[in-house]
Amino acid sequence: MVWSFISRTRGRDRFDVTDWLTWGYLIFGIALMFGPVLWVAMSSFKTEAALSEYPPSFLPLAPQTAMVKGYDKPLPLYEITGGEHKGEVLAQIRRIGLNAQMVDPQNPGERINVKIGDRTPKREFAMAWGNYTKLFQRFDFMRYFWNSVFITVVATIITVIFNSMAAFALAKYKFRGRTTVFVLIIATLMIPPTINLVPIYLVVNELGLVNTPWGVIWPAVATPTGVFLLRQYMLTIPDDLLDAARMDHASEWRVYWRIVLPLAAPAIAVLVIFSVMWRWNEFLWPLIVLTRSEEFTLQLALNAFQGDLQTSWSGILAMTVLTLLPITIVFALLQKNITAGIAQSGVK
């Protein structure tokens, strides 16, 4: 009965096949959703050389070395997999062509010749913290972080206010031109801002907003998606509530701010999440508007590791983890509120 488990909530009085399927699905889900992220997090602790390696290791590993008497520098250790010394662990002095000169750390006097195919490096767990310290040396990290937070928070607040006002007007008033305005907004719902980049830049440039956070914020706040979402939700708020308030001589602003907004909270929560995600992760537009490093956002810094000819993966991965961290923490703390918020909204 594959279909039985989809029908509705079921009690846990017996553990039948549908429960097995459910749990299989959930565990598979954890692996699929978290696995890749976890893997990237682990990889961000690998050195650049270890990142190019194939097959890759899950844990960050570094070659194990040992100090051998008679040598100034620590020598890398190898496990011998073939030939007469099979099974031993030797330190390599140098490699010449196809042969390696090795030495037994216990018995440093004698040199041993080993074919390079007959040895594999011994490795141990080691975190390359350098990837992270490098970042802080190179970038004014806190400043970029602050810029990102500022743009995200301010843009989200403005988005919510402007969009909800428009949605309120479209949902709760009957006026000439309402349909026109709604269709106009809906019409642009599907047009991605990316295709208007050049004209938008010209407008922003004319307004003198280039190289200010407002150049990123203003073009982004009038989201058609937000208006659409909120309008659909506000339609479900009964008009009686509004009329009752109007009887008490409440201004329309009061009606909107004190009655409609709180009632639309679940839908607003959805918009807030959308907006935060969009602004925090935005890259292409800030790239064009912001050219001075004091205005940069984290996403710009993240991409600064991509050069013309080379990409610094260790830098990108470490930066990825750092940009992920704040959003993950906020999500973990507010997880209940966020998911419950969306769940309650029952966006209709």
**Other CB atoms within 10 A of residue 26 CB:** 10
Q: Residue 186 has which token pair?
A: 């809906």
**CA atoms lying within 13 Å on the CB side of residue 3:** 0
Within 36-55, the residues that bind other proteins by CB under 8 A are 36-37, 39-40, 43, 48-49, 52-55
Q: Does 166 interact with other proteins (rule: CB under 8 A)?
A: yes
**Near other proteins by CB under 8 A, which window of 82-90, 101-109, 144-152, 298-306?**
298-306
Which amino acid is it at 151? I
**Near other proteins by CB under 8 A, which window of 66-74, 101-109, 145-153, 192-200?**
192-200
Give CA–CA dist 240/236, Å, rounded: 12
Within 78-97, the residues that bind other proteins by CB under 8 A are 94-95, 97
Which amino acid is it at 104? D
Least distance (Å) between residue 229 CB and other proteins: 8
Task: Tell me the DSSP string of 9-61.
Answer: ----SS--HHHHHHHHHHHHHHHHHHHHHHHHHHHTTS-HHHHT-SSPPSS-E
Measured from the CB atom, the residue of 109 and 228 that comes closer to other proteins is 228
Measured from the CB atom, the residue of 109 and 174 that comes closer to other proteins is 174
Measured from the CB atom, the residue of 34 and 129 that comes closer to other proteins is 34
Least distance (Å) between residue 125 CB and other proteins: 18
Measured from the CB atom, the residue of 150 and 228 that comes closer to other proteins is 228
Q: Which helix (H) or strand (E) holds 337?
A: helix 313-345
Least distance (Å) between residue 134 CB and other proteins: 10
Least distance (Å) between residue 226 CB and other proteins: 9
Least distance (Å) between residue 97 CB and other proteins: 6
Task: Tell me the DSSP string of 114-176.
Answer: EEGGGEEE-EEE---THHHHHHHHHS-HHHHHHHHHHHHHHHHHHHHHHHHHHHHHHHH---T
Least distance (Å) between residue 127 CB and other proteins: 18
Site string for other proteins, 100-139 (x = CB under 8 A): ----------------xx--------------------xx
